[in-house]
Amino acid sequence: MQAQSRLAMSGGVGGGSGISGSDDEHEAVIRELTRGRQLTARLRDEALRALRGQGQAEATADFILQEVARAFTVCLNIMGSPPARAPPPPPQEMPAARLMTSPSPTPTELLAPRRNREDSIPREHTVTTSPHYDGYQWRKYGQKRITKTQYPRCYYRCSFHRDRNCRATKQVQQCSAGDPPQYLVMYFNDHTCDTAAWEPEASVAAAAMHLDMSGGAGGGGLAVARRGGGGMLDERGVQEEHERQVLVSSLTCVLGARQFHHQSPPDAAGITSGGPSAAAVNVTQRARTRDAPAASAPVVDDAAAEMPGLDVDGVGLDIMDYDVTGELCFGDSYGLPDGPYQ
DNA sequence: TAAATTTGACCGCT
DNA sequence: AGCGGTCAAATTTA
């Protein structure tokens, strides 16, 4: 089960605010998240020791585990744990790891009291730097400036809302102006469109193939998820292409290392695929978003089957989460202060 | 031209 | 009455 789901089931979503459950549950969640963060730090030490001198593989492992730790910190902040519990930011952070350092309204502040209707209670919520890529296709149907918040809230519903009467919706609201910015994503209702999100075991290799096939900047299905916002795609095209190349390179490195070590897969895999990275959206989900509705991409699984030497898991997938510094395409009609939506 | 986004207006809830 | 969520016409994009 994904971390965000666990968080939700642990009381994070229940009871109106969507953040707090009972005091006992709340404390238990904070305790577990704190423990997870500590264990991640230990794992990072071990991984760096094991990968010492292996260049990019070492850097990649370092980055991933920093991100896992950051995800724990995000969750802890969501749960309202004292800021003192958060560790100081690592001295050499990669961009996505800087998120917690910028002052911003807490997710709790962003969540206005919700109406007491069944549909208005989020099933899950998460904080991510790439709010678009969660394995489903969404269509934006509204945007609203929420009082007392700095950023507008965007409303999405499943693209199969009409075709398959899918009632799933999500709301995305920026909650920090970092680089990349961070977004609070809330999910409502289950998908009934039979386009379930990808299994975490889906193929890294297939993802790489998709990346190669996706062509140039902003090409392919990226536009599906990021189409909105007028010229934003064009403005980011060069940067995205650069990021894509860097991350394909990283992925290739990881693939190579894992192919070499596939007899003894590192447990870091379990941490990301089954674990706590609230920010993580795996690349196969992204690949699915690129090309077609989620249900129509068996090609990727087939590709995975063609590369039996690979131990497929979430590690390489989560790397690709940082492929896109997905800023939302907020309109400019809200008279908002400086922000990425302008 | 179809598909997706934008955005003002409307509606229901508190 | 105010606020948040949704609708739907207009607009934009590929």
Q: What is the pLDDT of residues A66-117, one digit of tens each?
A: 766 667 666 666 655 443 333 333 333 333 333 333 333 333 333 333 333 4
Is 50 exceeded by the pLDDT of residue A138? Answer: yes
Indicate yes or no: strand B within 7 A of the C-beta of A115: yes
Give A281-313 pLDDT, tens digit per residue.
333 333 333 333 333 333 333 333 333 333 333
Give A173-200 pLDDT, tens digit per residue.
988 877 778 888 899 888 887 654 433 3
Indicate yes or no: strand B within 7 A of the C-beta of A139: yes
Which nucleotide C1' is nearest A233 CA?
Answer: C13
Interatomic distance A132 CA / B3 C1' (Å): 18
Interatomic distance A20 CA / C1 C1' (Å): 29
Locate A269 and state its tokens. 């895999």
The length of chain A in residues reads 342
Q: Which residue has the higher pLDDT, A269 or A171?
A: A171
Q: What is the pLDDT of residue A154?
A: 93
Q: What is the pLDDT of residue A119?
A: 58
Q: What is the pLDDT of residue A76?
A: 63
- Identify the three-state secondary structure at position A131: coil
Interatomic distance A331 CA / B8 C1' (Å): 13
Lowest-confidence region among A45-54, A233-242, A310-319: A310-319
What residue type is assigned to position A217 of the chain?
A
Lowest-confidence region among A56-60, A177-181, A258-262: A258-262
Q: What is the pLDDT of residue A49?
A: 73
Question: If you measure CA to C1', which residue is closest to nucleotide B13?
Answer: A115
Average predicted confidence (pLDDT) for chain A: 52
Interatomic distance A143 CA / B7 C1' (Å): 8
Residues contacting strand C at CB < 7 A?
A 112, 114-115, 119-120, 141-142, 144, 146-148, 153, 155, 169, 171, 188, 223, 227, 230-231, 233-234
Indicate yes or no: strand B within 7 A of the C-beta of A159: yes
Interatomic distance A213 CA / B8 C1' (Å): 40
Indicate yes or no: strand B within 7 A of the C-beta of A260: no
Share of chain A above pLDDT 90, in %: 4
Q: What is the pLDDT of residue A135?
A: 76
The pTM for the full model equals 0.42
| CA atoms lying within 13 Å on the CB side of residue A22 | 3
Is 80 exceeded by the pLDDT of residue A169? Answer: yes
Locate A217 and state its tokens. 């900047």
A155 bridge partner residues: A142, A171
Interatomic distance A152 CA / B3 C1' (Å): 24
A170 bridge partner residues: A156, A187
Which nucleotide C1' is nearest A232 CA?
Answer: C13
| CA atoms lying within 13 Å on the CB side of residue A230 | 5
Q: What is the pLDDT of residue A234?
A: 35
- The nucleotides of chain C lying under 7 Å from a protein CB are 2-8, 12-14
Q: What is the pLDDT of residue A95?
A: 31
Q: Which long-range contacts (CB under 8 A, 24 or more apart) does A291-297 make?
A: A291/A210, A291/A214, A291/A220, A291/A221, A292/A221, A293/A137, A293/A159, A293/A160, A293/A195, A294/A135, A294/A136, A294/A137, A294/A195, A294/A196, A294/A197, A294/A198, A295/A193, A295/A194, A295/A195, A295/A196
Using CA atoms, how far residue A19 sits from A32, A36, A50, A103, A143, in Å, is: 16, 19, 38, 20, 22
| Mean pLDDT for the stretch of residues A120-136 | 78
| Mean pLDDT for the stretch of residues A33-62 | 71
Locate A208 and state its tokens. 């790489």
